[in-house]
Amino acid sequence: MRISSIALSCLLVAGIPFGSSAQNGDAHWFRFHYENDFFHATDRYYTQGIRLELSAPFIARSPLRHALIGLGKTAEERHVLFAQQECFTPGSIRRDTILRTDRPFAAAMYLGERKTSTDIAKKRTLSTSIIFGVLGPCAICAEEQVGIHRALDNIEPLGWQFQVAQDVILNYGAELDQRLLRHRFAELSGGLSANAGTYRTNVGTHARLEIGRFDPQFDGASIFKRSLQVSAFLDGGLRLIGYDATYQGGLFNHSSPHTLQAETIERIVLRSEGGIRLRYRKLALLYSRTFSTPEFDGGGDHGWGSCVITVML
């Protein structure tokens, strides 16, 4: 069974008793997020990601809330449950051997909770999240990629038997954003981020510009609830890499057939994302393209596309 079926069932079952508790349409929504480098005409590195999210007031009573920090009692808060799968391949999936100088096959599947706290007066947001899951064959990326390629009558991927071995994922993340400039149809913000745990450890900084008709990120509840919203955005950032299990293997299981040594990992990675966003009444659509500089010695630039569908409940 694929992650989309597993996670969707869990989220829907969790939400049934609480469907009437949402305070407004923006407090209760479901989101499907799909990423694939097919949109960039490649089949390598970060090759596919699937993410399901549910935002609802009842999530604020989760036991995990005690681990997620905010901006104080006066801040507006939003709690989100999510499930995610991420799949990674080397530069070629046509060789049934280990490519020693290339990135290893890797698969990850995890569940998590995110808390976003907005200080409307100071135009600042803090998002903290915690995830737990598995790295390795249990994430079923091999089966998914083979199934998709067969359905599309494409080449059969080779080499998944050499993927990073099974291990545990437990990670904590935080991101602080501050509005820098606001115009009626434009918003500029910047921020810092950090992640630590068994999956990824890094710190970063980024800036974001959005232009058009949209809900300002730092102004709380929606002000365009029934109007058509159309905007374009550009997000650019720099990340300093400390550890990445999809390259180096898990912290506890060292039996992976192939991993990269720490000295071959690029410690500074630049990434940019640009796209368009549409929203009308209870439906929001987003399409974006992401580009990343090389993440390991001998690696190349990489890009992928993202499609996001959000339904207000």
pLDDT above 90 as % of the chain: 82
**Looking at per-residue confidence, does 221 or 182 come out higher?**
182
Give the integer Cα–Cα distance in Å for 3 and 304: 20
Which pLDDT tens digit goes with each residue over 189-232?
Answer: 999 999 999 999 999 999 999 999 998 889 876 655 668 999 99
Give the integer Cα–Cα distance in Å for 146 and 155: 9
Q: List the domains of the chain with CATH numbers.
A: 3-14+26-312 (2.40.128.140)
Which pLDDT tens digit goes with each residue over 146-160?
Answer: 999 999 888 899 999
Which pLDDT tens digit goes with each residue over 61-119?
Answer: 999 989 999 999 899 999 999 999 999 999 999 999 999 999 999 999 999 999 999 99
Closest CA to 129 of 33, 197, 204: 197
Q: Is the distance from CB of 118 to CB of 125 less than 8 angstroms?
A: yes
Sign of CA dihedral 117, 133, 2, 296: positive
Q: CA 103 from chain center: how many Å?
A: 20
Instruction: Output the six-digit token pair for 190.
Output: 């910047």
Instruction: Output the six-digit token pair for 305.
Output: 């596309």
* pLDDT (mean) for 128-135: 98
Which pLDDT tens digit goes with each residue over 20-49?
Answer: 333 344 679 999 999 998 877 778 999 999
Instruction: Output the six-digit token pair for 139.
Output: 């994430």
Q: How far is CA 241 from CA 37, 141, 191, 263, 269, in A?
A: 22, 24, 17, 12, 8
Closest CA to 130 of 174, 96, 193, 167: 174
Other CB atoms within 10 A of residue 87 CB: 25
Specify the pLDDT at position 23: 38
User: Which residue carries 């990601």 as its tokens?
Assistant: 49
Tell me the average pLDDT of the chain: 90
For the question of whether the overall pTM of this predicted structure is more than 0.75, the answer is: yes
Give the integer Cα–Cα distance in Å for 131 and 249: 18
